[in-house]
Amino acid sequence: MKMRHLHSTGNGIVSASLISRMLLLGLAGATMPQAASATVHSVQQKESISGVITDAATGEAIIGASILVKGTNTGAVTDIDGKFFIPADKLPVTLVVSYVGFQKKEIRVTSSSPIHVNLQEDSQMMEEVIVTGYGTFKKSAYAGSAANVKSDKIADVPTVSFQDMLQGNATGVQFSASSGQPGASSSINVRGMGSINASNTPLYVIDGVPVMSGSINSLDSDSGLDIMSTINTNDIASITVIKDAAAASLYGSRAANGVIIITTKQGQQGKPKVNLQADWGYSDFAMEFRPVMNGQQRRDYIYNGLYAGQIRKGKTEDEAKAYADENIDDYAPVPWCGFVDWNDVLFKKGSHQQYEASISGGAEKFKY
């Protein structure tokens, strides 16, 4: 190929071939870029485990139950509907399901299908708890003398006042009612008769607050309305009776006659619960009294006595009958309104009706 010559402004001549060689040498010395290599990372798909935890006895969802993948730190807690979701690296795995008051359960999961787990109550875990003014203890760890009335013993018990719940349930507690009037004040002795003149009433503490007890009648009488009878028995979760002097360290001399600590129910986190309770009953004599005569029977009885008295005196039957007819009104006259069956008027079957409605629930920051 014929090369063309380029002339510069000066005296030198630069040929096109020389420029071509220089360009070729520059390209040869340049480093060529390497081909980009694409690295493909394989993404392993994780499995997921979901399901619901319920109470085997009631079928209700258990809120706050813990689910743990055995041998790992992976776990979850059930939500308000008792549902849970756990990511798993691979299947099969073993889930350990536990909740306070229920038996721990292990479930073998081999697929990602939702599971349903029923937990059984564990009566051994629900150990009796004693609530005192200075803390809550297990009964086995409490060294003092105390009686605790469990919640299952006072549930759905048709009583007028909560003091009636202590009868037969709290050992060593003496209970006596001043009268049969509904709501009348009652007498409870925890530590016996400590004084003849002073009060022997124990100190009542409701949710940690000492309260006044006794009759609220304006007169000094035991037949008035008792403040304790105004407490709704269905709102009580437990009753603890402290009989020794241990409570005096907190309540002082007011605890000299013993302390009755009442713990009320509280709302639990979860769905609102509506409770409606209706109570109807009647009262009657436990046993029949000796039959008594009515007015007419008494009149006939006296009439026969007048008649028999004249016969014993030697009178004839007609004379005795005439004497009884003449004098019966002096002993047993017939009222103008007739004889009244006082047994039917004074003694009747008493009936009562009681209806209660409540709603409870709560969230993370409040309860009602």
d(CA 244, CA 259): 9
Length of the chain: 368
Q: How far is residue 362's CA from residue 368's CA, in Å, rounded to a whole number?
A: 6
Residue 223 has pLDDT above 80, yes or no: no
Calculate the alpha carbon distances from 33 to 36, 71, 207 in Å: 9, 51, 81
Please compute the mean of the pLDDT values over residues 170-182 and round it to a whole number. 66
Q: What does the alpha-carbon distance between residue 259 and residue 246 come to, in Å, rounded to a whole number?
A: 10
Query: Residue 247 corresponds to which tokens in the numbers above?
Result: 């409570």
| pLDDT tens for each residue of 72-107 | 888 899 988 899 988 877 888 899 998 877 888 998
The pLDDT tens digits for 159-170 are 666 677 777 777
Residue type, 269: Q
Percent of the chain predicted with pLDDT > 70: 64
Against a cut of 0.75, is the pTM above it? no
Nearest to 161 by CA among 260, 275, 251: 260
Average pLDDT over residues 53-67: 87
